[in-house]
A and B are shown apart, each in its own frame.
Chain A
Amino acid sequence: MAPAPSLPIHPPNGPVNGDASKQPPQGRSSQKSMTKAERRELQEKQRAAKAAAKAGGPVNGAPSKQAAKPTPQATAAATPKRPTKSNEAPAPTASALRTQTAARARAASVSVPTPANARGLRIFSHFGLPKPVSVAKGDIHPTILRLALQFSEFKITGANARCIATLSAFKTVIQDYATPPNNTLSRHLMTYLSPQISHLVAARPMSVTMGNAIRQLKLEISGSDIDLPEQDAKDALCQKIDNYIRDRIIIADQVIEETAGNKIKDGDVILTYARSSVVQKVLLGAHAEGRQFSVIVVDSRPMLEGKRLLSVLASAGIQCTYILLPALGAIITEVTLVLVGAHSIHSNGAVYSRAGTALVAMMAKLHSVPVVVCCETYKYSETVQLDSFTKNELAPQGDLFSSFPSVKARDSLTLENDEHLEILNPLYDLTPPNCITAVVTEVGVIPPNSIGSIPVALGRLL
């Protein structure tokens, strides 16, 4: 099957088959030398050729996105290759173009994409399909390049970790920055940082934490004193970044650790899902204080982050049980408290967290087990979120997540897109506020429906 002609899924390591960008016509060396009109003309020509090739097949609306081009079947086209960051597709000749058109025709006749299939992809096509990390436009600092690569390969995961990594990278960037003549730091630094930020976003959609932190950073930059000598201004900004990390993340976590720890009583059976850095701190802290409790870690594919949490807790001496999500129903009656982390919380009280958290919360609610979300205030987003699919992110395909040696050959365990199968792995889901008992933040324990009081509480402190 060809994926719906207008909506292919590109794993972040590049499309499975071959070409990354538009195919330049014969005689031209690169896309950049064409003017916009000529590019439009080329696109029309290719579209017409495709329509002719797909004689009789269902025609889906052509996409407006320039980059989303149908990939020809593996049988006919080049073998799958991992593209490097630069424009690597050698300019195919006219003959290659013809063979590809023929291949498409073959593909069309082999298996007509069913409307249901095409519709399914259309629903999730707005998720911000992982794009290949292309060469950056403009001058990107090497720290940012490295960070983007780490993000796209999921080496750094978790809202807190990503935010801290981003801010630390920006500290380096700011220190290396030199104000051009006839410019002020407070005005030019922002324009300098913008392409860096875009590059990070292209690697992986920005988390709410990164967004809030960057917004605060921009505020600090615009407020920096014009009269300060450059090095002093840069040092002041780095200091502000350090303060932000310290106040909103590190110290906030300590307060949450204490507050949530007080809710843990001897004999409790605590259930947690996947791996939250805050919940890890809470559990380790409570254990260090001498409370006797046991932990059930619920995990799920593809990321299997719970394994890391499990090893940390077990080595600290906490009694742990490890189950996968489908087994939740069997053990929920044993649980006395559910502790989960969050990617972000929204003003209607909904919690946006790792996919599967909503299931855990709903199951707990049904069995009258209190659900406590541990979340710093900087994860608060003013937006209202009502469901999991208006905004989400897809996990990349391939075997990025397994960190433990496995007995079977890796390939047999990893699912790949093929003729009749499209893999869909949303990374986040939304837990509705009525399933949550309490949200523990550093300004206090708040019921989910009153999350709107966080800015009020913060306003008093800041």
Chain B
Amino acid sequence: MSPPLAAILSLSQLMVESNAGTMFELVKELHDGAEELKRHTTNPISLNAGCELFIAFVTLFPHESDSFAELKTELVKQGQKYAKEAISYRNKIAELMLDFIKDDSVILTHSYSRVVMRALLHAHKTKRISVYVTEARPRGLGVKTHEVLTAVGIPCTVVLDSAVAYVMDKVDFVLVGSEAVVESGGLINAVGSNQMAIIAKAAHKPFYALAESYKFHRLFPLSQYDLPTHNPSILSFPSLPPRPFVTPPTTSGVSPPIAKSGIDESLNVTPTSSSERSMSAEMTAKNPDVDYTRPDLISLVFSDVGILTPEAISQYLVAMFAG
């Protein structure tokens, strides 16, 4: 179950157990509940999307019932019905995607995404496809994708994150999932998606994003560093100990030994085999989890409400949330 759906279900549960007497109190409790949920996760974006959607739904629900208790039960019922229906959204999206996958397509995807899996497995039933998937460091979820696809018989190869440009010319189109689709029509997804989109644009390959409608978010990031997940420690430079002054060597090739060891100690390089090294946990912490892909790099967004262009996302969000 994806975070936004879980959020919706838990907020519905909150409503059942709440003893608010008026709409105002109820909405306030929901806001507090949402805040609590957000506090306990490092990446609150998609969770936020679900919470905001549910709260907006509750606020805009027509008040036809006479008593407040009736209204509450109605709302809870609607919330649970929505969560149940939402499970079927992935199938709807997979069906929409099917027409865009031709026989013998070579698809590039990123990391592991449940909705992309559903679409690929659905397509595999009637068409021949082969898939490249990126490793998606540091979590390495691309390997999980590889396991799942190979198990059903789809030819799949894992490519290095750095080899995306290398492989792009062999690919027919790029397919990614999403954490959230934002107001600008852009995409927030696992880090590496932006890179892939830029390379796809340069190679003139279509870039498709799959997103359920509860992932649409009113956020509007102006740049990568405007994301709520960005904090000053990401991509920050370490504060190194001051280099001791060493007279420059008269012969070339002799580097001052003191400074070098100082740098080594502060970096905590975990020695593995001599041919491969990996980043330390400290180094990984300085890297982002998600990135923002601009709308002009995205060809189409496939969603349960239809196949939308990035510009249409904003119009949908305005229609959903305004007034």
Q: Given A263-B226, A447-B310, A447-B314, list of 17 further CB < 8 A pairs?
A: A263-B222, A337-B222, A370-B222, A370-B223, A437-B222, A444-B183, A446-B183, A446-B314, A447-B184, A447-B220, A449-B311, A450-B185, A450-B312, A450-B313, A450-B318, A460-B322, A460-B323
Contact yes or no, A445 B183, CB < 8 A: yes
What is the interface of chain A, defined by CB distance below 8 A to chain B? 263, 337, 368, 370, 372, 434, 437-438, 443-447, 449-450, 452-453, 456-457, 460-461
Known: A370-B222, A434-B296, A437-B222. A447 touches B183 (CB 8 A): yes
CB-CB nearest in chain A for B224: A368
Interface residues of B in 110-136 (CB under 8 A from A): none
- Residue-by-residue, is B291-323 near A (CB-CB < 8 Å gives 1, otherwise 0)? 000011000000000000011111100110111
27 cross-chain CB contacts under 8 A = A263-B222, A263-B226, A337-B222, A368-B223, A372-B222, A434-B296, A438-B184, A438-B222, A443-B318, A443-B322, A444-B218, A444-B318, A444-B322, A445-B183, A446-B318, A447-B185, A447-B311, A449-B295, A449-B314, A450-B311, A450-B312, A450-B318, A453-B315, A453-B318, A453-B319, A456-B322, A457-B318
CB-CB nearest in chain A for B295: A447
Chain B residues closer than 8 Å to A447, beta-carbon distance: 183-185, 220, 295, 310-311, 314
Chain B residues closer than 8 Å to A444, beta-carbon distance: 183, 218, 318, 321-322
Known: A434-B296, A444-B322, A447-B183. A456 touches B315 (CB 8 A): yes
In the bound complex, CA of A438 to CA of B223 (Å): 11
In the bound complex, CA of A443 to CA of B295 (Å): 21
CB-CB nearest in chain A for B316: A453
Nearest first, the 3 closest Cβ-Cβ pairs linking A and B are A460-B323, A370-B222, A450-B314
Chain B residues closer than 8 Å to A370, beta-carbon distance: 222-223, 226
In the bound complex, CA of A452 to CA of B311 (Å): 10
Known: A452-B315, A456-B315. A461 touches B323 (CB 8 A): yes
In the bound complex, CA of A372 to CA of B226 (Å): 13
Chain A residues closer than 8 Å to B311, beta-carbon distance: 447, 449-450
Interface residues of B in 121-179 (CB under 8 A from A): none
In the bound complex, CA of A447 to CA of B185 (Å): 8
Chain A residues closer than 8 Å to B295, beta-carbon distance: 447, 449
Chain B residues closer than 8 Å to A457, beta-carbon distance: 318, 322-323
What is the interface of chain B, defined by CB distance below 8 A to chain A? 183-185, 218, 220, 222-223, 226, 295-296, 310-315, 318-319, 321-323
In the bound complex, CA of A132 to CA of B11 (Å): 67
In the bound complex, CA of A453 to CA of B296 (Å): 18
Chain A residues closer than 8 Å to B315, beta-carbon distance: 450, 452-453, 456
The smallest beta-carbon distance between B124 and chain A, in angstroms, is: 35
Chain A residues closer than 8 Å to B312, beta-carbon distance: 450
Chain A residues closer than 8 Å to B223, beta-carbon distance: 368, 370
In the bound complex, CA of A449 to CA of B313 (Å): 11
CB-CB nearest in chain B for A438: B220
Chain B residues closer than 8 Å to A434, beta-carbon distance: 296
Chain A residues closer than 8 Å to B183, beta-carbon distance: 444-447
Known: A445-B183, A447-B183. A461 touches B322 (CB 8 A): yes
Chain B residues closer than 8 Å to A368, beta-carbon distance: 223
CB-CB nearest in chain A for B313: A450
Contact yes or no, A456 B222, CB < 8 A: no
CB-CB nearest in chain A for B294: A437
The smallest beta-carbon distance between A201 and chain B, in angstroms, is: 34
In the bound complex, CA of A444 to CA of B183 (Å): 10
CB-CB nearest in chain A for B186: A447
User: Which of B183, B311, B318, B321 gathers most chain A CB within 10 Å?
Assistant: B318
In the bound complex, CA of A341 to CA of B185 (Å): 23
In the bound complex, CA of A447 to CA of B222 (Å): 10
In the bound complex, CA of A141 to CA of B323 (Å): 41
In the bound complex, CA of A456 to CA of B318 (Å): 8
In the bound complex, CA of A368 to CA of B224 (Å): 11
The smallest beta-carbon distance between B227 and chain A, in angstroms, is: 12
CB-CB nearest in chain B for A338: B222
The smallest beta-carbon distance between B114 and chain A, in angstroms, is: 28
User: Which of A368, A437, A443, A461 gathers most chain B CB within 10 Å?
Assistant: A437
The smallest beta-carbon distance between B5 and chain A, in angstroms, is: 25
The smallest beta-carbon distance between A198 and chain B, in angstroms, is: 37
Chain A residues closer than 8 Å to B321, beta-carbon distance: 444
The smallest beta-carbon distance between B115 and chain A, in angstroms, is: 24
Chain B residues closer than 8 Å to A450, beta-carbon distance: 185, 311-315, 318
Contact yes or no, B323 A445, CB < 8 A: no
CB-CB nearest in chain B for A266: B232
Chain A residues closer than 8 Å to B322, beta-carbon distance: 443-444, 456-457, 460-461
Contact yes or no, A456 B319, CB < 8 A: yes
The smallest beta-carbon distance between A52 and chain B, in angstroms, is: 61
In the bound complex, CA of A434 to CA of B322 (Å): 25
Chain B residues closer than 8 Å to A437, beta-carbon distance: 184, 222
In the bound complex, CA of A460 to CA of B56 (Å): 15
In the bound complex, CA of A263 to CA of B318 (Å): 20
Chain A residues closer than 8 Å to B310, beta-carbon distance: 447, 449
CB-CB nearest in chain B for A267: B232
In the bound complex, CA of A386 to CA of B8 (Å): 44
Chain B residues closer than 8 Å to A456, beta-carbon distance: 315, 318-319, 322
In the bound complex, CA of A450 to CA of B308 (Å): 13
Known: A444-B322, A445-B183. A453 touches B314 (CB 8 A): yes
In the bound complex, CA of A450 to CA of B318 (Å): 10
CB-CB nearest in chain A for B220: A445
Chain A residues closer than 8 Å to B296, beta-carbon distance: 434
In the bound complex, CA of A344 to CA of B2 (Å): 42
The smallest beta-carbon distance between A40 and chain B, in angstroms, is: 54
In the bound complex, CA of A443 to CA of B317 (Å): 12
The smallest beta-carbon distance between B183 and chain A, in angstroms, is: 6
The smallest beta-carbon distance between A445 and chain B, in angstroms, is: 4
The smallest beta-carbon distance between B60 and chain A, in angstroms, is: 10
In the bound complex, CA of A40 to CA of B319 (Å): 58
In the bound complex, CA of A460 to CA of B319 (Å): 9
User: Which of A372, A434, A449, A460 gathers most chain B CB within 10 Å?
Assistant: A449
In the bound complex, CA of A461 to CA of B177 (Å): 34
The smallest beta-carbon distance between B63 and chain A, in angstroms, is: 18
CB-CB nearest in chain B for A461: B323
Chain A residues closer than 8 Å to B313, beta-carbon distance: 450
In the bound complex, CA of A450 to CA of B220 (Å): 13
User: Which of A263, A368, A446 gathers most chain B CB within 10 Å?
Assistant: A446
The smallest beta-carbon distance between B104 and chain A, in angstroms, is: 34
